[in-house]
Amino acid sequence: MADAAGPPPRGKNLLKVADAMKKRALEERDEADANAEKKQKTLAAIAREFICPITHELPIKPVTAEDGKIYEEKAIREWFSKKDGEPTSPSTGAVIGTKLFPAPQARNTIEALVESGAIAGEIAEAWKQKLEDEKEVKETRAMAGGGDGEAMYMLGAWYREGMNGLAKDNAQARAWYERSAAARDPKGMAAFGEYLLLGLGGPQDTAFGIMNATEAAGLGSDLAAYQLGWAFFEGGHGLPKDPARARFWLKKIFDGEYEYKHLTDTARADAARMLRELDQ
């Protein structure tokens, strides 16, 4: 007997095929999402292994300590230097030796992960900024080594404020300011004069400090003019009170002639106050 039903309508076959394709596409999308999530979790786990337990940031100069953990070199050295008694691991608290091993492979891996976007967000941006700071310091040191007085001044300023990845260190700041002053950079001379006058990073020497400040002020440093103006206003740093000389130097801060403007806003406001009092 012949099949009375005949073949199914063509439209129903196409609908089944479309449904199957849609289902497969959804399954593939879900699988891709799951794989991407798994990959991201794996990368996040790898990134966590490189985060310094002390700074909680990705290290620029990674080293491996004797506890097997990766640290920022400067951070782990400071940890050991400040520790009373036997040195301990910042991660486990166990007593360990202080030997550190360079970890260039960790640096290379971190750089690859950040550059590829595998590690992103604030932690990656902070690492990139530290990388830029490191590059700037390296270039500035090279310029200072070539005799650039302004570069010497910048290194002093960074050590003074603890900027660009350099630890705050008044002794280092003073040393760089002194070199800058020897190169006759006006800002370096003024800063070195300030350190001498205040006894920062080394012994106080008011006579040499005033000498540096006077030379720097003559070359156009507003910081040096403030130092002299204050000294004559207050009768400080071994100078007598002299309103005329105080006014002379303080007015130079505001007359627009000085080329080297590195006076803080606070000191500038103080200079304006002294001028107002002198004009009363």
Summarised one tens digit per residue, pLDDT across range 156-187 is 999 999 999 888 999 999 999 999 999 999 99
**What DSSP designation does 95 have?**
B
CB 221 within 8 A of CB 190: yes
What pLDDT score was predicted for residue 1? Answer: 39
Collect all residues with Cβ–Cβ distance below 8 Å to 201 and sequence separation of at least 6.
169, 170, 171, 172, 173, 174, 175, 195
Closest CA to 188 of 161, 223, 163: 223
Q: Per-residue confidence at 2, pLDDT binned at 50, 70, 90?
A: very low
Average pLDDT score over residue span 45-73: 89
Give me the percent of the chain exceeding a pLDDT of 70.
84
**pLDDT tens across 106-134, in order?**
999 988 888 887 777 888 898 899 889 99
Secondary structure (3-state) at 87: coil
The structural domains of the chain, ordered by start, are 40-120 (3.30.40.10), 205-280 (no CATH)
State whether residue 62 is helix, strand or coil. strand
Mean pLDDT along residues 184-208: 98
Query: Is residue 89 over pLDDT 50?
Result: yes
Residue-wise DSSP of 127-153:
HHHHHHHHHHHHHHHHHHHTT-HHHHH
